[in-house]
Chains A and B, each alone.
Chain A
Amino acid sequence: MGTRNYRRKTSHSEHGAGDGGRTGSWRVERPVLDRNLCIPCKRNKEACFICWLFCPDVVISRTIPPTINLEYCKGCGICAEECPTKAITMVDEAKFAEEDKE
């Protein structure tokens, strides 16, 4: 049957962003990064990246600045909780929906 074929007969997922589906639609609160507080942004150095390390969905990049893939971010808020400089805040998605209307 072959490995690829077999994988397609079952639910099989590998580590990586979004292998559980488009989970971004589950989000109630969106993480928003303040570059003025973010350590790698401020120092322009590969440092900290605690948000990247803790994100359970692997949707935060290890880049300067760190980017958040909102297609797959479930909005769990772990990044905001762990950020040592409180550079990430969780903002109600309703706010963005209103902005989109405007």
Chain B
Amino acid sequence: MHIIENGNAAAALGVKLCRASVIAAYPITPQTPLTEKLSEYVESGEMKAEYIPVESEHSALAVCIAASSAGARTFTATSANGLLYMHEQVQWASGARLPMVMCVVNRAVGAPWNVWNDQQDSISQRDTGWIQIYCADHQQIIDTVIKAYWLAEQVSIPVMVCYDGYILSHTFMPFDLPDQEQVDSFLPPFQPDYFLNPQDPANLNTVTLPDVRMDVRGELAHGYMEIRCLLQEDLRKALQTAAEAEKRFAGIFNRGADPYIEPYRCDDAEHVAVGLGSITYQMRVCVDQLRTEGIKIGVMGVRYYRPFPDEAIAAALKGKKGVIVVEKALSYGYEGALMSDLKSALYEHLAGTGSLPVVQNFIAGIGGREIRTDDLTQTLRAAAKGRVSKEPVWIGLRL
């Protein structure tokens, strides 16, 4: 059934369809309508879940961690400073291998105070051991939430579903609302590998010494380093599971594509613009314009940021003359984080082949600064002609 709703509602509907049983969240702009919607569903009885109002984001995720440890399918959502306040628990959730889903409605972080969109919040959580997926429209938001639960529960790793504040969260767009029956067949009830049970008490995530130890059963138990290494190994393997999720989903819902990247007019392109989230769809308009001018350019959205699909990205960019990375976040003191990751993937897979493209970095839309399509087109046109600068270039800056 096609409906017209905003991005936050798309996420809330996805969570409802996934039958999350414990929701704990603290409202923060632009995530607020998402949690309001979920509390309405719970209040009206449409959704059989516990909605736990908390006093902070740190507590929101702490509640989800506890509920997930007890075997519940949990959900939380946040933005910007809320996510940063949650940071300690974000690391905890992945270290504890809890398969939960969190929506991050991307917003700039303070100071200075700002409630508008950029992606500094979720990018700053890159190294927390969560899977990070970026959405470009409302259909992707609802579909990704559903896929995220399946993926998280397969690999026992939490998933962040990221989408741009306002640009997606508060705009209305038609999308297909999946049937409950179809979602149920895609996503079976959560069957945790382990959950807290008073009949069989255990300590979870206890102090782990630097070395391995004998446990009470006389088996060698892993030390901290082994546990952390397994998280890394399983995150890398999760790329494969993500492809399975996509295939399963396409089999039931008849839609889906490349799980990791979303290329547009890239096949014969000499230059490819790369980004995360809604800006990649805006760049499609620029690409269409530049194609009429005879510039062979395409655009590629990166959907999975962690685990980073380095092979897929390098394969897609092999033989291109130039790559233009347009980002709404920055690793302050160097360049965009996606820029660095992408260059490292190209070096790993293409070094010595003689087909390393020139890579340029542009920073756009920080703190909600309007990204005018004309400016973006002009940027891509100039970048396709040759290297503009060694340093990241800020689009629409008035300094």
B213, A11: Cβ atoms closer than 8 Å:
no
B interface, size bucket: 20 to 34
Residues of B179-225 whose CB lies within 8 A of A: 193-194, 201-209, 211, 213-217, 221-222, 224
A interface residues, tally (CB under 8 Å): 21
Contacts of A16 in B (CB 8 A): 216
Residues B214 and A18 in contact, CB atoms below 8 Å apart: yes
Contacts of A2 in B (CB 8 A): 193
Partner of B203, one of A5, A6, A12, A21: A12
Instruction: Specify which chain A residues have a CB less than 8 angstroms from the CB of B206 in the assembled complex.
Output: 11-13, 19-20
Say yes or no: is A1 at the interface (Cβ < 8 Å to chain B). yes
Closest residue of B by beta carbon distance from A16: B216
Given contacts A3-B194, A19-B216, A22-B213, contact A9 B204 (CB under 8 A): no
Decide if A1 touches B215 in the complex (CB within 8 Å): no
Q: Are B194 and A6 in contact (CB under 8 A)?
A: yes
Query: Closest Cβ of chain A: how far from B23's Cβ, in Å?
Result: 24
Chain A window 7-46, contacts with chain B (Cβ cutoff 8 Å), 1 for yes, 0 for no: 1111111111111111000000000000000000000000
B-side contacts of A14, CB under 8 Å: 201-203, 215-217
Which one, B193, B202, B203, B224, contacts A1 given CB within 8 A? Answer: B193
For the A-B complex, the count of residue pairs with Cβ-Cβ distances under 8 Å equals 75
Q: For B204, what are the chain A residues with a Cβ–Cβ distance below 8 Å?
A: 10-12
- Asked if B312 lies at the interface with its beta carbon under 8 angstroms from chain A, I say no
A16, A18, A20: residue with the most chain B Cβ atoms closer than 10 Å: A20
Q: Given A8-B221, A18-B214, A21-B213, are A13 and B194 also a contact pair (CB < 8 Å)?
A: no
For chain A, what secondary structure do more than half of its interface residues adopt (helix, strand, loop), or is it mixed?
loop
Of A3, A11, A16, A18, most B-chain CB atoms within 10 Å: A11
Chain B 213-246: CB-based contact to A (< 8 A → 1; otherwise 0) = 1111100011010010011001000000000000
Bound Cα distance from A2 to B205, whole angstroms: 18
Chain A: CB-nearest residue to B211 = A21
Residues of B within 8 A of A12 (CB): 194, 202-206, 221
Q: For A18, what are the chain B residues with a Cβ–Cβ distance below 8 Å? A: 213-214, 216
Which single residue of chain A is at the shortest CB-CB distance from B96?
Answer: A10
CB contacts (< 8 Å) of A9 on chain B: these are 97, 156, 227, 230-231, 234
Chain A residues whose CB sits within 8 angstroms of the CB of B205 once the complex forms: 10-12
Contact of A17 among B95, B207, B216 (CB under 8 A): B216
- Chain A residues within 8 Å of B215, by CB: 13-14, 19
14 pairs of residues in contact across A and B, judged by CB atoms under 8 Å: A2-B193, A3-B194, A6-B156, A9-B156, A11-B208, A12-B204, A13-B206, A14-B202, A14-B216, A17-B216, A18-B213, A20-B207, A20-B209, A20-B213
Contacts A11-B205, A14-B202, A21-B211 known; list 11 others, CB within 8 Å.
A1-B156, A1-B193, A9-B231, A9-B234, A10-B95, A12-B206, A13-B215, A14-B203, A19-B213, A20-B213, A21-B209
Interface residues of A (CB under 8 A from B): 1-3, 5-22
